[in-house]
Amino acid sequence: MAPVTTGIAGTGSAFMATLKRDLLIASKRKNDMLNPFMFFLIVASLFPIAVTREPQQLTDISAGVLWIAALLASLLAMDSLYRSDFEDGSLALLLLCPQPLYFMVLAKNLSHWLVSGLPVVLVSPLIAYMLKLPAESYLPLFLSLLVGTPVLSLLGSIGVALTVGLGSRGLILAVITLPMTVPVLIFGTLAVQEPRFGADLAGYLAILGAQLLAAIALAPLASAAALRISVN
Amino acid sequence: MNDIAANPATSESAVPMLSGSDLYCERDDRVLFQGLTFTLAEGQVLQVVGNNGSGKTTLLSILCGLNDSFEGKINWFGKPVNENRELFLASLLYLGHRIGVNRVLTPLENLRWNCALTQPVHKSKILKVLHSVGLSGFEYSQCCILSAGQQQRVSLARLLLTRAQLWVLDEPFTTLDTDGVELLEQLISQHAKQGGAVLVTSHHRLKISNLQMLTLGKQRA
Amino acid sequence: MNWTWFHQLGSPKSFYALTSQWLPWLVTVMVISMTAALVWALLYIPPDYQQGYTTRILVIHVAVAGTSLAFFPLMAVAGTITLVWRIKLADMVARNAATLGAWFSFVTLATGSLWGSVMWGTWWEWTDARLVSMLFQFFLLLAVIALRSAMDDNDKAAKACALLSIVGCINVVIIKYSVEWWNVLHQPNSPVGMSNSGANGPEFWLPTLLMVVAVYLFLTVSLILSTRNEILHRERKAQWVRELLAAS
């Protein structure tokens, strides 16, 4: 039997295959897709009830509320990222495929963000209206969430990869992940609030973009290493 | 058990496909194995036996590179596995306890992804293989409605779709019925005849010629 | 270059033996410098024209705060050693560093807010970037400890915590700069900061310097002591530990 040297799948096609597979799984499990979205809606609607009904006060807190709701929604959605693959053994297959694990992790992260993060971003202007966010802040909110939520997913992926083998995950994922999201939260909310007072939106988006690039470059490496530790 | 040298497939190359020397592994302060040395040549089937908890699964995952908590050397055609990891992985098929079949996907979708990670295969080939492992009629049903044995057969289909030289199979017989066991034994013998190598854990007495044994822990009386 | 000393230090047994020789010296120097620094700081620093006697708290605060910044880099280095060279001792150090680091961060926060209660009239002030980033460093250290306690496989826990420490170390730096930036942008009129205040004469920074040395020595000694403890626990089945225990 000749050694296998030809016909090995390219990294690009393996990336696409993994992306398609995860999207296919998500399309068959509509709940996984819908729940983060519902969570975002509900949490954001709780604030006016608990904090204030005054439009002016709502305006003041809306940027922060929207960002924190998006942050929590993305965190809650993370748990499903590697769990079923860990339990049914697909993760071991992924670790043992000849392609760099970095790209496979990136494919899984991308598909996960597309089904759980993107819907939240898309619906955010509607919730922003309900929370009396000034109309000129809709675009900054939308753009900052669009650039910022993938960073949350990439960071969350590290936490999930570290904890996927644990019997009782409980809140440990949140304890690990939430402190790491502070920089995104800072510049995400600033990007929504500051342009109203004359600051340049592009600057904040650039910083968020830089965070996204850094996260794309580094976070999947950490996730891949964490997966190798967890599958053992 | 046959002598290794008697096998024509091994005589052409003196360097074994996979060899481990002086392997040592402990878990939770308990030594699972030490000084473990073995070779696996082309055309050879090596059955790893041992009592529950003797480290069979650990050994297999160490050899695949899923577990790096060990000491000792593992060579792939005479060179350390780490130096040629990509080629090694391209030549490896691993079938674990957890068989790697997603429950919401259909057998076809599962296998398609498996193949896409290693060597892409046309859909018609996958359908043909599903037929030969006895899953015709289930190609398009979600795996969660299949029985455990049928799900195991989905993973067996990977054996027919791969060009990997080395099969590492961890307890592949557990959920199979008698037909399934026979099919798998046939697949293993065939693979060995074609010059492949198989590493398998099982408590079954395998009906395979040219079978080598590797016993972990204390030998049973 | 000869690396044998490195490998020797890497084995728990020789670490134990080596530190047995070092400890008496280290402890002596630490006690002397700590006493001197404390007496100097708490009794002899003249009142500042702006902050009065509160600068005396600041001496301890600055020393502890500066030292607690060393923990994540230390844990990241230990983590790298754990992941790359798989030296068990590195993990033992990392494990104790996490706990110690959490305590140091806590003391930094406590002394900071004690000082703040006098200077700002409030125990907690979000506008001080240093305190806020220290708070998140504290949270991240607690996260490492939480991850360790959630895993029951020692070997896995070591690797997972090593990785989280490396990620956390990078993250702490990003958090630090983000929070500083956020502060500048958000709150241009912040109250008296801790660094740019009047307390910067030699009568202030000399005892602070001594205190920093003393606190670093304290850190080293506590890390060594807790690591020795950990060695005895993890190697309790080893021959040399049994002999040691039988002799004592």
C213 falls within a domain:
yes
Q: Which domain holds residue C61?
A: 39-233
C85 falls within a domain:
yes
Inspect the interface and report whether the beta carbons of A88 and B117 lie closer than 8 Å. no
What is the count of residue pairs from B and C with beta carbons less than 8 Å apart? Answer: 5
For the stretch B43-93, pLDDT in tens is: 999 999 988 888 899 999 999 999 888 888 999 998 898 888 888 998 999
C145 falls within a domain:
yes
According to DSSP, the β-strands at B30-40 and B18-27 are antiparallel
The predicted structure's pLDDT at residue B8: 45
Residues in B 57-96 with any Cβ partner in C closer than 8 A: 69
Inspect the interface and report whether the beta carbons of B29 and C237 lie closer than 8 Å. yes
Q: Choose among A157, A151, A186: nearest CA to A173.
A: A157
For the stretch A166-222, pLDDT in tens is: 877 778 999 999 999 999 999 999 999 888 888 888 999 999 999 999 999 999 999
Contact C205/A at CB under 8 A? no
The predicted structure's pLDDT at residue B13: 53
List of chain B residues whose C-beta atoms are within 8 Å of the C-beta of residue C155:
27, 69
Lowest model confidence (mean pLDDT) among A5-9, A149-153, C86-90: A5-9
Alpha carbon dihedral B62, B64, B66, B72, in 10-degree steps, equals 30
- Chains near B with 3+ CB pairs less than 8 A apart are A, C
C203 falls within a domain:
yes
Inspect the interface and report whether the beta carbons of C174 and A183 lie closer than 8 Å. yes
Instruction: Determine the Cα–Cα distance for residues B50 and B214; give it in Å rounded to an integer.
Output: 8
Q: What are phi and psi for residue B162, nearest 5 degrees?
A: -95, 155
Contact C159/A at CB under 8 A? yes
Residue C128 CB: number of other CB atoms within 10 A?
Answer: 23
Q: Which of C136, C160, C181 sits opposite A226 (nearest CB)?
A: C160
The predicted structure's pLDDT at residue A18: 94
C247 falls within a domain:
no
pLDDT surpassing 50 at residue A69: yes
Give the residue from C178, C180, C187 with the most A CB atoms within 10 Å of its CB, the best one to mutate. C178
What is the DSSP-derived secondary structure letter of residue C193? -
Instruction: Determine the Cα–Cα distance for residues C134 and C87; give it in Å rounded to an integer.
Output: 30
Q: How many domains does chain C have?
A: 1
Give the residue from C84, C85, C151, C155 with the most B CB atoms within 10 Å of its CB, the best one to mutate. C155
Q: What is the CA radius of gyration of chain A?
A: 19
To the nearest whole Å, the CA of B178 is away from the closest chain A CA by 24
List of chain B residues whose C-beta atoms are within 8 Å of the C-beta of residue A18:
113, 116-117
C29 falls within a domain:
no
Inspect the interface and report whether the beta carbons of B28 and C237 lie closer than 8 Å. no
Contact B30/C at CB under 8 A? no
CA-angle at B165, arms to B198 and A105, nearest 5° = 105
To the nearest whole Å, the CA of B205 is away from the closest chain A CA by 26
The residue in chain A having the minimum alpha-carbon distance to the alpha carbon of residue C174 is A183
Q: In which band, very low, low, confident or very high, does the pLDDT at B205 lie, cut at 50, 70 and 90?
A: confident
Contact C151/A at CB under 8 A? yes
Instruction: Determine the Cα–Cα distance for residues C213 and C66; give it in Å rounded to an integer.
Output: 11
Inspect the interface and report whether the beta carbons of C167 and A158 lie closer than 8 Å. yes
Instruction: Determine the Cα–Cα distance for residues A3 and A26; give it in Å rounded to an integer.
Output: 37
Instruction: Determine the Cα–Cα distance for residues B177 and B148; give it in Å rounded to an integer.
Output: 10
Assigned token pair, C33? 């410098």
Amino acid making up residue C210: L
Instruction: Determine the Cα–Cα distance for residues A106 and A20; give it in Å rounded to an integer.
Output: 13
C135 falls within a domain:
yes
Assigned token pair, B28? 């939770």
Instruction: Determine the Cα–Cα distance for residues C54 and C115; give it in Å rounded to an integer.
Output: 6
The predicted structure's pLDDT at residue C202: 75
Q: Choose among C41, C55, C37, C72: nearest CA to C218.
A: C37
List of chain C residues whose C-beta atoms are within 8 Å of the C-beta of residue B29:
237
Mean pLDDT of A81-91: 92
The predicted structure's pLDDT at residue C192: 47
List of chain A residues whose C-beta atoms are within 8 Å of the C-beta of residue B195:
1
C11 falls within a domain:
no
Q: Which of A175, A183, A218 sits opposite C143 (nearest CB)?
A: A175
Inspect the interface and report whether the beta carbons of B69 and C237 lie closer than 8 Å. no
Instruction: Determine the Cα–Cα distance for residues A210 and A203; give it in Å rounded to an integer.
Output: 11
- Chains near A with 3+ CB pairs less than 8 A apart are B, C
The predicted structure's pLDDT at residue C4: 65
To the nearest whole Å, the CA of A24 is away from the closest chain C CA by 31
Inspect the interface and report whether the beta carbons of A182 and C179 lie closer than 8 Å. yes
Inspect the interface and report whether the beta carbons of C167 and A175 lie closer than 8 Å. no
- DSSP state string for chain B: ---GGG-HHHHT-SS-SEEEEEEEEEETTEEEEEEEEEEE-TT-EEEEE--TTSSHHHHHHHHHTS----EEEEEETTEEGGGGHHHHHHTEEEE-SS----SSS-HHHHHHHHHHHSS---HHHHHHHHHHTT-TT-TTS-GGGS-HHHHHHHHHHHHHH---SEEEEESTTTT--HHHHHHHHHHHHHHHHTT-EEEEE-SS----SSEEEEE-SSPP-
The residue in chain B having the minimum alpha-carbon distance to the alpha carbon of residue C82 is B69
Note the pTM of the prediction, 2 decimals: 0.90
Contact C122/B at CB under 8 A? no
Strand order across the beta sheet in which B211-215 lies = B92-95, B166-170, B197-201, B45-49, B211-215
To the nearest whole Å, the CA of A111 is away from the closest chain B CA by 15
* B47 close to B202: Cβ distance less than 8 angstroms: yes
Inspect the interface and report whether the beta carbons of A25 and B102 lie closer than 8 Å. yes
The predicted structure's pLDDT at residue C41: 84
To the nearest whole Å, the CA of C104 is away from the closest chain B CA by 32
Q: Choose among A103, A92, A90, A82: nearest CA to A10.
A: A103
What are the pLDDT tens digits along chain C (248 aa)? 556 666 666 788 888 888 898 999 999 999 999 999 989 888 888 777 677 777 788 888 889 998 999 999 999 999 999 999 888 899 999 999 999 999 999 999 999 888 888 888 888 888 788 889 999 999 999 999 999 999 888 889 999 999 999 999 999 999 999 988 887 765 544 444 444 444 567 777 888 889 999 999 999 999 999 999 999 988 888 888 888 888 87
Instruction: Determine the Cα–Cα distance for residues B54 and A84; give it in Å rounded to an integer.
Output: 28
Q: For residues C119 and A163, which has the higher predicted lDDT (pLDDT)? A: A163
Using a 10 angstrom Cβ sphere, with 0-12 exposed, 13-18 middle and 19 or more buried, the burial of residue B128 is middle
**Tokens 């002999």 sit at which residue?**
C243
To the nearest whole Å, the CA of C8 is away from the closest chain B CA by 19
Q: Which of A14, A28, A90 sits opposite B100 (nearest CB)?
A: A90
Instruction: Determine the Cα–Cα distance for residues A51 and A131; give it in Å rounded to an integer.
Output: 11
Give the residue from B24, B58, B69, B70 with the most C CB atoms within 10 Å of its CB, the best one to mutate. B69
Give the residue from C105, C151, C186, C187 with the most A CB atoms within 10 Å of its CB, the best one to mutate. C151
Residues in C 153-172 with any Cβ partner in B closer than 8 A: 153-155
Instruction: Determine the Cα–Cα distance for residues C103 and C202; give it in Å rounded to an integer.
Output: 29
